Structure 1
Amino acid sequence: MQQRKIINPTDVYQEVKDYWGGELSPELIEFIIQAEDEHLLIAQERWPLIDVVSDGKMLNTDRFGLRPVIAPDFRGDVTRDVRKAALLSLHCDELVLDANLLYPFGDPEEHLNAHGDDWSLPDQEMPSSPNRDLIAKTLLALYHLRPLIEVGAISFGHLRLKQTMEDVFRATYPVVAELARTLPSGKEAGDIYRLGIEAQMAVMSTFGLVTDRQGTPTSSSPIEWQMWQRLSKEFARSKETSTLQTLAQLPLPTLSSKISEILAIRSDSAALGKWRTALANVLEEAGKVEGQPDQVSRAGAIVSGRLVGELKRLEVSLDSSPAIRSMRGAVLPTLLAAIPTIPTVSSPLLVGGILAGSGAIGVIDEYLKGQSARRGNRAMLDLAVHLGSMG
């Protein structure tokens, strides 16, 4: 096989055009998934490698801030997760997605298929025939996210740490099991249990990017939040460490509009640009708070106090535009939480709990110690964010 060329993420759209003869669109996606297997397999073979490091968007992990990791659910409604990414992009400069999104036709030789049905079982062979549903959903996500990708508002990272997936599954499954025990029998209980499994898959699919210091843990349901809580508590040996301490609860404004219109407004609205800058600066200031974990409350006061006024100014600015005002949706209840650290002489933060002896321990230990070393004597190591009601 000839050596593949290497391109940047922004070039994937030209690759689609060169091979399939048109700009990526819903109509072209429909044409692609109707193609013969041979054409889809050739597209996979010819697809280039994507350079997610040297494209100018290497993450600045030294800076404390909000970089939500989004894991599109390719088993379900991918548009829902893309819309969540669009709404989050109104409030932060950078989102993080798994680089597998850049390989719509699959690539079993070079990359783990992190969103296929067997993604958590890396020892299984990849299917020999194209997964048309997966191809369609991946291309649709790329189509919707194009404005963010082309301006560098999305960074990509490879889902690493494959050997820890079983460990993460074991650590988060008790949340699902407890949910099942508290539910009545019947179809509704089964549906809720399924939601628990879906939440577990969402956490597992972003775990590698989070622990690789590439992004902020993000949850969209109370079940996901409980899983991150459980993982964080098990990563901290010290009894004094209270993980995921609340920094602020922010009612972020949203837009009830098409994804394309949301992203157009993100690009054109000076008020939203000023808000993103203010939010980033406040979080950066809060991340410099020094001391013990009880200082997280001081950081929280900085975040809440400063951002209340900024949010009011944003609301006024958005309402001053008739076009934006007509698209205003319900607020997005957002919980910002901090993962604090306890500075010590020998080991800033060690890892313990039920995962002791497992493959995940060394990974998380190195992650937390690395973060603590980077940030020195700081009250917080990282951020976590929950979207939506906790009820």
Structure 2
Amino acid sequence: MHSDPTYDRVRCAVSDLGLDPTGADPVDDALAAATETGTRIEFPPGEYLLARPHTLADVERHAWVGTGEDREAVRLLVAEEALPTPLTVTGSRDLLFDGFTFVTERSRPVEWGLDVDGSVTVADVGVTDRGDETTHDEPSIDRYRRGGIRTLSVVGRGAVASYEVTVSGRICPDASGPSHTPAANVSGPTAEGSLRDEIDQYRFTGEVTAFSLTGPADVRVDGRPVSPTRLPATDGDVVRVESRHGDPVDYRLDADAPVGQVGGGAVAADHTIEGRTSAADGWVTSGHFDQFETEAGSARLFQERVLVSPAALSAPRNDFLVAGDVEYTLRTEGRLHEDADPTLGGGTRVSETAGVTDESVHHRFDGGVSRLTLEGEGAATLAFE
């Protein structure tokens, strides 16, 4: 396969090109101007806002490389206008993309078109959404003001009511609203309070994964009235575990994002539920459920009210398609299937495949791309759901 290219110049995205690493200002113009043959662009840790799609056409020996400890340190924030294809390569060779994460709003799909005439390497690249952001320590919500901000209001009806809400991202009191809730009532992704005639208002990212209410109150999400019994919001995956015969069933349910019980309940911090039911349990996540198994008893599994095979939860969600006269190697962070039927689930638990094709090949996989190399003349697509 192809050896690493040499470059005529190395440019720091911040100090040399003037890109804003805070994500406040778009970097499109400066980045496009630096897209030229023989240039390696190095991105220091930070957030870089892509406000429009980018096309790399007819360039050689060009690289985008994150210099953080891992790909999460360099985050390319993809605006709505840049979706679903923020980056396209056409007629280019000797390209390298390494060490960064595309960040979208609320799990929007991302497609990456690679029309190559030579070689392309993609290493340690993934896609996430703002709903996954739970690791920052700042109490301020200002860093999220650029997008993905949602509001939740609890409106008292004159009698004492208590509530607790958990989200998949971050939650903070909304200082611009009529909230009286002190910051001490917020801990990580969870806020709680009690009120009588007041209005408690919050800003948050992600989805509501758990909500419980005792006493009379009205609830609004993003300014719209919502019945407390309809929370958590069901924008993500929803599953129902139902005992077949009314006998106790012990089960385990895994997801790639926080899990809350439909109608309220605690969130599973490690994204895993170990449950027991003689009737039915409902669970919701802002991401995807990816594994279900029973440890005792017999259960049926419903996803979005449709009866499904438990194996369907573990079906891979991302796609790699390649066509033309191309030699390729793909190494992923999760399971990888060859021409897999996504309704079957399961599959070989391997993470690497390689081949030479003069027609077309389709793989489905989980997680990010650890390394992808392409050499030849053809077209490929990486699609992250």
What is the TM-score of this pair, normalised by structure 2? 0.25
More helix by share: 1
- Structure with greater Cα Rg: 2
